[in-house]
């Protein structure tokens, strides 16, 4: 989509999810939903306005490691050592809860020649290869760092995203589309409504709020137009006409 539209079109959205099962996702338009589909909706008009923002609330910790072996979205080695062994070492007792626990400890990825770092969730582990399957490609020579968060940081990130998207608008928003990562839902647990309440407190009661939990959020970085794939974020798109 970036290759077709360049920097002339704002693209936001998210990847389908099936809660935390990671078995099969489906979607469709004017047909029965099925796997492997993509649905895109285009808006245009002289009076149409769209703004967006994206925030995570995750904090890196521990040493930075260099990706010394990877292929696509599979991470094999960090600093020349098996990636899964290193990851388990940092998780300690939590490693017994893999792969589910991995959603609570994603990776902060800094790719060469890119100004911004990207959060990547770990979707699965491959014990035979001592490898991890990530929710997005991870090039060799990238630098990665473990991340963690808590309920308050997750909720505060949603508030910051709403405020940032609202502050740059010329007109009052009418519709807010929220895409939040399934990993955030697992952290929030019984307090899952709190990030929605933070958004509502910023936008007010007259704005319609809708959205879904995703396996990846689609949006540019702040003040950029090139679309990116993110994990573990709250992505907010505000629309009005």
Edge-to-edge strand order for the sheet containing 49-55? 49-55, 234-240, 175-181, 208-214
* pLDDT tens digits for range 161-199: 999 999 999 999 999 999 999 889 988 988 999 999 999
2-57+150-240: CATH architecture: 2-Layer Sandwich (3.30)
Query: To which H or E segment does residue 158 belong?
Result: helix 151-167
Secondary structure in 3-state letters for 33-91:
CECCCCCCCCCCCCCCEEEEEEECCCEEEEEEEEEEEEECCEEEEECCEEHHHHHHHHH
The domain 59-147 having CATH identifier 1.10.540: the answer here is no
Determine the average pLDDT of the residues in 134-152. Answer: 92
What tokens appear for 42 in the block? Answer: 């285009």
- 9 or 238: which leads in pLDDT: 238
Helix (H, G, I), strand (E, B) or coil at 10: coil
Domain with CATH 2.40.10 in the chain: 59-147
% of the chain at pLDDT higher than 70: 100
């Amino acid at each position: 989509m970036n290759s077709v539209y360049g920097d002339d079109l704002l693209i936001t959205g998210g990847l389908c999810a099936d809660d935390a099962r990671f078995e099969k996702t489906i979607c469709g338009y004017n047909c029965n939903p099925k796997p492997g589909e993509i649905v895109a909706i285009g808006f245009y008009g002289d009076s149409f306005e769209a703004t967006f923002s994206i925030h995570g609330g995750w904090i890196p910790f521990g040493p930075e490691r260099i990706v010394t072996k990877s292929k696509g979205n599979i991470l094999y080695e960090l600093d020349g050592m098996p990636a899964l062994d290193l990851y388990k070492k940092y998780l300690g007792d939590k490693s017994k809860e893999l792969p589910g626990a991995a959603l609570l400890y994603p990776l902060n990825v800094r790719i060469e020649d890119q100004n911004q770092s990207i959060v990547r969730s770990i979707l699965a582990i491959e014990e035979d290869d001592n490898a991890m399957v990530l929710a997005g490609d991870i090039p060799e020579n990238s630098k990665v760092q473990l991340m963690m968060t808590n309920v308050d940081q997750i909720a505060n990130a949603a508030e910051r995203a709403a405020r940032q998207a609202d502050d740059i608008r010329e007109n009052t928003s009418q519709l807010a589309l929220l895409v939040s990562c399934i990993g955030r839902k697992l952290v929030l647990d019984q307090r899952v409504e709190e990030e929605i309440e933070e958004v509502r407190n910023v936008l007010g009661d007259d704005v319609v709020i809708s959205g879904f939990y995703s396996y990846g959020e689609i949006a540019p970085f702040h003040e950029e137009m090139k679309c990116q794939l993110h994990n573990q974020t709250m992505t907010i798109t505000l629309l009005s006409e």
